[in-house]
Chains A and B, each alone.
Chain A
């Protein structure tokens, strides 16, 4: 193992974490402000990727596609909130899970109906293709570096939005006392729609960015959704800071575990077995992390006040 490999894997972990943050931020806000479990969040992520691929294909510009993907996901989120989610706030969590699970099925089949069963093509923009040499001699894909920068910029923007703006003040107020801000004359319905659309837009942005790296296909959102839930449980439900810390923690743990556990086992057993045992153990590592965090701090790392 060389230092270059370790640096590269740390960056990979950070990049995965940043992507997870974009998805988890919306999920944790929606849960924190509205008390709603939204399983269909992964479908909004998928919507962002599909619209980005479609628009990038039509216009020839990835950037136009990226903006369109995020906006389309936000619009889809607002629409879903107005038509379905709105009816679920007063129901218990089981009803919410059932209804949003139905939304996953509707989104998946609808997407297949519109775009077909085959994966779509979306490529990294020319300006960001290829690899750059890092200080120390390691090579790293430029596009992944761009994702890290973009994700951290969004995190900063989200922090400023919540800490410094009127909308952010209302979101914070909504988290701590829903009835009271309603009584103070804030239009709670519009606030909920705005928060839901914001979360959906972030998920759509993440989907569009990852779509260029992976494949744009039906069902791409669900694996991310599971990880995003792990992230918000670790970070503390309702906390955006917690989501950022949790996401980076999960990203780095998952990446390093996948690489170094098989290597560690290879010291004591034949390579083929080590690879099998190591990768099997690596895939449960983040859940072990979650269990440890929950034993230590049952409310997560940054519990919402």
Chain B
């Protein structure tokens, strides 16, 4: 009979102790559909960092938004109200982020973006609980605009899908290029045949092409471009040339250049360890989405070491702002609007040793870049 109270006390102690320090993180991402590889890579990078940390007091709930804003919204409601998560993250696409982030941060939840960086949340709509660990949407396009100008190209032809991130992309490019472009086309979102656009590029007399076409659209464009006989150099943001896309395009991608805030051959100790661990764990080269997921997880872990988001949100926020973690991008810091100030690099697609195309670091497009909307944020 004496044993029973002792056992009860033991059970209470075992059950109670971890519950006190438990932190729940909700990871909502695009894990199905044509753009699934973006979400899958962000998730795998995020979970790699979590596994490496080996903390059993942090629980990650992973859900698929299927690239639908309404699905994302109802998942976040469920996570906040029923699961009582303290931190949300994982969203890839800006339209989903716009449905989820503003209501979530107003309820006191922290949101850390692994990818989407809509301008609305960087400027007037910035919020103390919203952190973007990737970039603002315009950043890579703007950097490429600047790079194309300094390389001496005078007649760029630019194209992007006709949706908010597409118009942001071309606006960003033009802000960086800062001169007249030869041609500008908006294509249908999800379009897979670009014969008509390529014919226009040929007829325009342009000396360079810039395109923002993520996922399958980029694969289709690049393959058709390569077969068309048009031979002017091609530029784009890293989204048009991630490892999955250039793997699917094949040899035709070789020689193209793209801007990225990270590269798998960027030289720093944290990055070398990350790329090696990711390859060992998943058997493929990480994309920039994986690096962003990995950085986001490490930022969260670094802040959790200093303060608990439920008990001391101000301390946790200050710890996030300090961003004291080993980023795979090397130096990492936040600007006033909680968006990164970072170097943006140029990568060139080359043929790898295994006979498959891969990105190689080629130089720096712009150093210590801060997004164009930071000054509008009054936080």
Contact = CB atoms under 8 A, between A and B. Distances in A.
Interface stretch (B135-143, B190-198, B362-370): B190-198
Nearest to B220: A214
Given A112-B32, A215-B220, A217-B34, A16 B193 contact: yes
A272 B162 contact: no
Nearest to A119: B248
Q: Is the interface of B mostly helix, strand, loop or mixed?
A: helix
Given A220-B192, A223-B192, A262-B185, A12 B199 contact: yes
B33 A218 contact: yes
Interface stretch (B9-17, B118-126, B223-231, B290-298): B223-231
B341 to A, nearest CB: 29
A215 B33 contact: no
Contacts of B228: 131, 139, 141
Contacts of B184: 271-272, 275
Nearest to B199: A8
Contact of A258 (B196, B216, B220): B196
Contact of A213 (B31, B34, B36, B220): B220
B250 A121 contact: yes
A305 B59 CA distance: 66
Interface string A219-230: 110010000000
B188 interface: yes
A214 B34 contact: no
A220 B162 contact: no
B192 A214 contact: yes
A210 to B, nearest CB: 8
B187 interface: yes
A170 B156 CA distance: 58
B333 interface: no
A214 B218 CA distance: 9
Interface string B253-293: 00000000000000000000000000000000000000000
B219 interface: yes
B201 to A, nearest CB: 11
Contact of A15 (B192, B195, B250): B195
A129 B196 contact: no
A275 B33 CA distance: 28
Nearest to A272: B184
Interface stretch (A21-29, A235-243, A276-284, A288-296): A276-284
Given A5-B203, A215-B248, A141 B229 contact: yes
B137 to A, nearest CB: 18
Interface residues of B, number: 38
Given A12-B196, A275-B184, A213 B223 contact: yes
A131 B33 contact: no
Interface in B175-224: 184-188, 190, 192-193, 195-197, 199-200, 202-203, 215-216, 219-220, 223-224
Contacts of A271: 184
B40 interface: yes
B164 to A, nearest CB: 12
A276 B219 CA distance: 23
Nearest to B41: A118
Contacts of A158: none
Given A143-B227, A275-B186, A279-B162, A119 B219 contact: yes
B37 interface: yes
Contacts of A124: 223, 227
Given A121-B247, A143-B227, A215 B195 contact: no
Nearest to B249: A121
Interface string B223-254: 11001110000000000000010011010000
A187 to B, nearest CB: 40
Nearest to B159: A275
A119 B197 CA distance: 23
Given A219-B34, A272-B184, A214 B196 contact: no
B208 to A, nearest CB: 17
A141 B185 contact: no
A58 B219 CA distance: 21
A255 interface: yes
Given A117-B36, A213-B193, A279-B162, A129 B248 contact: no
B193 A259 contact: no
A139 to B, nearest CB: 5
Interface in A161-202: none
A120 interface: yes
Contact of B248 (A1, A121, A272, A275): A121
Interface centre among B31, B40, B186, B195 (most CB of A within 10 A): B195
Given A119-B219, A214-B220, A259-B199, A219 B33 contact: yes
Nearest to B222: A215
Contacts of A299: none
Interface centre among B36, B188, B220, B248 (most CB of A within 10 A): B248
B232 to A, nearest CB: 13
19 contacts: A1-B203, A5-B202, A16-B195, A118-B244, A119-B37, A119-B244, A121-B247, A124-B227, A139-B229, A141-B229, A214-B219, A215-B216, A215-B223, A215-B248, A217-B216, A220-B216, A271-B184, A275-B184, A275-B185
Which 5 A-B residue pairs are closest in the complex by CB-CB distance? Answer: A131-B229, A215-B219, A117-B36, A214-B220, A12-B195
Interface of A: 1-2, 4-5, 8-9, 12, 15-16, 112, 117-121, 123-124, 129-131, 139, 141-144, 210, 212-215, 217-220, 223, 255, 258-259, 262, 271-272, 275-276, 279-280, 283
Given A5-B202, A9-B196, A214-B220, 14 more contacts: A9-B199, A118-B36, A118-B37, A119-B248, A121-B248, A121-B250, A124-B223, A213-B227, A215-B216, A217-B216, A220-B192, A220-B216, A258-B197, A280-B162
